Structure 1
Amino acid sequence: MVPVRYWTPRVRTGEGYIMKHTGLFIGGTWRDSSDGTTFVVEDPATGRHLSDVADATVADGAAALEAAHRAQPEWAATAPRVRGEILRTAFELLTERTEQFAELITAEMGKPIGESRGEVAYGAEFFRWFAEEAVRVAGRWSSAPDGNSRLLTVRRPVGPALMITPWNFPLAMGTRKIGAAVAAGCTMVVKPATQTPLTMLALADLLREAGMPGGVVNVLATTRTGEVVEPIVRDPRLRKLSFTGSTGVGRLLVEQSATQLLRLSMELGGNAPFLVFDDADLDAAVDGAMLAKMRNMGQACTAANRFLVHEAVADEFTRRLTDRMAALRPGIDYGPLIDARARDKVAAFVDDAVAQGAKVLCGGEPVGDAGYFYAPTVLAGSPPVREEIFGPVAPIETFADEDAALRMANDTDYGLAAYLFTNDLSRAVRVGEGLEAGMVGVNQGIVSNPAAPFGGVKASGFGREGGVEGIEEYLDIKYLGLAV
């Protein structure tokens, strides 16, 4: 039996603020689904029932979009300072309730409580960041070249947005979308992942408490995702779609959105390389590898998916990483995968790699008789990795020189994140510029930061979240020509 020591029983019983509402949040009020149905949310560490949540229908989706559409004109006209103050209040409330939200994230998603606290801190920072950005939306004034008119450029809210968030960061993937949209003056419909809707429902209630007007943020969870989402995407009242999830689903949404020519932000899959050069500080490289691989049990689109190590230091790096991975304790240092399907997919990946000649140095099997745990695994002599693992598996390949490292790193359809470790500044610049990725961590294992633009290239999507670029995704440009 895996020891589950990192959460508190009161979450399971539904007591306290964080489990107050499990319905649909539409137009500022809580309601049941139109057909009265619910679905079960379970604890992936034990498989136990956590809560029943209202299961939104097509009619509920239409109601949520109508609420956002009705609220849009007044919200767009709301002073930027007012919008910013609501976000600032939400930041403060979320920070005050760190422990409650962390417990809820751990309960429905499975990450250890320390990581959940980190997600709350990270997620709250998007509210603080965009509270400050709300008052910095600017245009420009210039003279036409012929001198006969003046050119005024202004930015205006795009309009109602649909946001589809994943299960791996149930709070932060919502706050970085919601924060930007609120700051820009856009209303929204948020569709959280079926596995982890409780955190977003709790966040909706916190935003209401922070002063968010009814209809600005609407939240509906559903097991009928395609059935509910497609009519919203094809509705002319919707003007923006922001999606975080798999590349396959992203492609489908892009196709559906073409009817309305929606503004799109697509944060999709990854296949991040982790490069260790022969001059790297191996202590720092292993520390970085543990962060880049084991954050959220490897269930992150930015997770290191391929470890490419110079042949001169490969044995030592592999030994140190294996020792660190093997020492991790289930239920304490790492949590479960999100469900049985995810665990089985990781097991199938490891089995296939071994069949192709990889050697398991630690792990390589499920753990315990409850929940969906899989042992942290290191594979030596791994074949090239083409798809996301989304689990605690570190496949190691070797390279001989810088050119080979770049060639191997870029040999993928994806381009979200990459990591490199070297003590040579010139190499860091050369390789960093040569990597086909939207984000590169140099001598660090975490690249996410609310003040930085998050996003990728190639099959990892387009658009950026966070940073000064994040709010631009929710703003249209309007030009006024003024005769003089």
Structure 2
Amino acid sequence: MDYTDLYINGEWRKTAERFDVINPATEAVLASVASADIADADAALDAAETAMKSWAARTPRARSEVLRKAWELMAARLEEFAHLITLENGKARADAMGEAAYAAEFFRWFAEEAVRADGLITHAPASGARIMVRHKPAGLAVLVTPWNYPAAMGTRKIAPALAAGCAVIIKPASETPLTMLALMPLLEEAGVPPGLVNVLPSRKTGALVNHMLHDPRVRVISFTGSTGVGRKLLHSAADQILKPAMELGGNAPVVVFDDADMDTAIEGTMLAKMRNLGEACTAANRIYVHEAIAEDFTRRLTGAMRALKVGDGTDPTVDVGPLVNADTRNKVAEFVADAVAKGARIECGGTMPDGPGFFYPPTVLSNVPETADCVHDEIFGPVAAIQTFTHQDDVIRRANDTEYGLVAYVFSEDMKRALQVCERLEYGMVGLNRGLVSDPAAPFGGVKQSGLGREGGHEGMLEFMETQYISAAW
């Protein structure tokens, strides 16, 4: 069965209006998907309200067992999900397999966290009253997910919400709704009751989400996407004083000191830059290399980038698939043209191939000036923009000189200095001598314009819970 309709109250719901999902490698239509409207949103809210009453009343262990079963089922079907991710998103098979495994792991992690919403009983030192603190489900949650991780950005929100006792309505990105829809039969098999998880793909995202955020039954909005859209959602959420979890944009710096292990630095930079083809808020965006090693670093990074094979991600020998759509590819090309016009030098790549497909080659730019647009905005593509530095204080200032604060990367063998630098970086996460920070067991999130709240770790479940304090005497 093709899962291309809305998923509401455990049933597949057809709509008159539909939209096409495009394969970015071939530009062919993959599927026609149902587009939800306001009436569909109301039906999902009604279903979620009913389902949450009994789900929240279940014991934490009962909720945990359902999530554990979801992990087992998804872990057994990684190939299936990876293939679907590649078809609708474009990422190469290895990247897609990595995402599928990462997505499944959120079910296992939050199956374990579901039984750990620990409270507190203590004796108030001044009044003598007993202080009782507990965590309870916050309420219905609206989840809005992006196209760059069609599986993981959904499970990273669904799993903690269910662990906390909440019901959810998911609005997946229009570019990549198929993976989330395909997950629903698996959740049914795992024992998720009808109405607890609802999926509303739609081309009317703004109106649909705004309507749900003004329904008094909704108490949480969890969003992953651009800072601009995040601001709009926060404005909507303010009317009902909703609990927001916002994972927004980034402008990640990589700082490579002259004492860095070169193999580690190249490997880490490649991972930070090219994971998911650079289409990630955690992707390396500005690469600062100490001038003493800049020539060697640039040569070796260029060699590694040039060696990557570009093509349709369904081919297991391909390293780099297409970007998700024409707009994303064209924006990358514009960043490169702008940097070159301002003095940057192309070390490899830099030329957009003929179609079909939204391909852009792995590209290395050296001598990138501070005035280049790519220094101040997310590239969201396979372009490594290299700058040099001499002094530690200067590179920290430059790394922090952005409205974003999601993740930074530091490479140095001097642990004392490296940790001092990490503490001075204005970022919610830092990768020290590694190019990957995402982990279901860790609190993922940023500061400044990069977001509010955390996903993953113990904190991820608390985003879907409210703290209740009871003052008692006995």
TM-score range, shorter chain: over 0.9
Q: Give the 4+ runs in structure 1 shifted more than 3 A.
A: none
Listed as ranges, the gaps of 5+ residues in structure 1 are 1-18
Which residue in the other structure is 1:461 paired with?
A: 451
**CA distance in 2 between partners of 1:205 and 1:229 (Å):** 24
CA–CA separation in structure 1 for the residues paired with 2:19 and 2:127 = 64
User: What is the CA-CA distance between 1:146 and the residue it aligns to?
Assistant: 4.2
Map of 1:381 onto structure 2: 367
Residue 346 of structure 2 is aligned to residue 360 of structure 1:
yes
2:197 counterpart of 1:217: yes
Aligned residue for 2:288, secondary structure, equals: strand
Equivalents in 1 of 2:355, 2:117: separation in Å? 53
Paired residue for 1:404, among 394, 398, 416? 394
> After the TM superposition, which residues 285-434 of structure 1 pair with which residues of structure 2 at under 5 Å, given as runs?
285-331=265-311, 332-384=318-370, 385-434=375-424
What is the CA distance between 1:337 and its match in structure 2? 0.4
Cα distance between partner residues in 1 of 2:236 and 2:355: 42
Tell me if 1:51 matches 2:51: no
Partner of 1:97: 77
Aligned counterpart, 2:314: none
The equivalent residue for 1:117 is 97
Output one character per residue of 1:220-263: Cα deviation in whole Å (capped at 9) or x when no partner: 10011112111101111100000000000000000011000000
Distance in 1 (CA, whole Å) between partners of 2:473 and 2:257 is 61
Aligned partner of residue 367 in structure 1, secondary structure: coil
Distance apart, 1:219 and its partner CA:
0.5
Q: Secondary structure at the match of 2:240?
A: coil
**1:64 corresponds to which residue?**
44
Amino acid at match of 1:30: W
Q: Secondary structure at the match of 1:86?
A: helix
Question: Which amino acid is 2:470 matched to?
Answer: L
Task: Give the aligned partner of residue 137 of structure 1.
Answer: 117
- In the TM superposition, what is the alpha-carbon distance from 1:469 to its structure 2 partner? 1.1
User: In structure 1, what residue type is equivalent to 2:52?
Assistant: Q
1:231 counterpart = 2:211: yes
Q: What corresponds to 1:127 in structure 2? A: 107
| Residue matched to 1:79 | 59
TM-score (norm 2): 0.97
Task: Give the secondary structure class of the aligned counterpart of 2:376.
Answer: coil
Residue 150 (1) aligns with residue 141 (2): no
Which one is further off, 146-155 or 441-450? 146-155
Question: Does 1:26 find its partner at 2:12?
Answer: no
Letter in 2 for 1:239: R
User: How many pairs align?
Assistant: 464
Alignment of 1:439-450 (within 5 A): 439-450=429-440
AA aligned opposite 1:24: L
Is residue 451 of structure 1 aligned with residue 441 of structure 2? yes
Q: Which residue of 1 aligns with 2:22?
A: 42
TM-score (norm 1): 0.95
Tell me by how many angstroms 1:147 deviates. Answer: 5.8
List per-residue Cα deviations over 1:400-456 (Å, max 9, x = no partner). 011111011101110001001000010111111011111100000111011101000
Determine what percentage of the aligned residue pairs are the same residue.
57
- Stretch of structure 1 that moved more, 244-253 or 79-88: 79-88
Match of 1:281 in 2: 261
CA contact (8 A) 2:94 2:319 kept: no
Query: What secondary structure, in the 3-state scheme, does the structure 1 residue paired with 2:239 have?
Result: coil
Question: Secondary structure of the residue that 1:394 maps to in structure 2?
Answer: strand
- Please report how far the alpha carbon of residue 205 of structure 1 lies from its aligned counterpart in structure 2 after TM superposition: 1.7
Matched-pair contact (CA < 8 Å) for 2:361–2:382: yes
Report the aligned-residue RMSD. Answer: 0.9
**How far did residue 20 of structure 1 move?**
2.9
Distance of aligned partners of 1:277 and 1:148 in 2 relative to their CA distance in 1, 3 Å threshold: closer
SS in 2 for 1:324: helix
What are structure 2's unaligned runs of at least 5 residues? 312-317
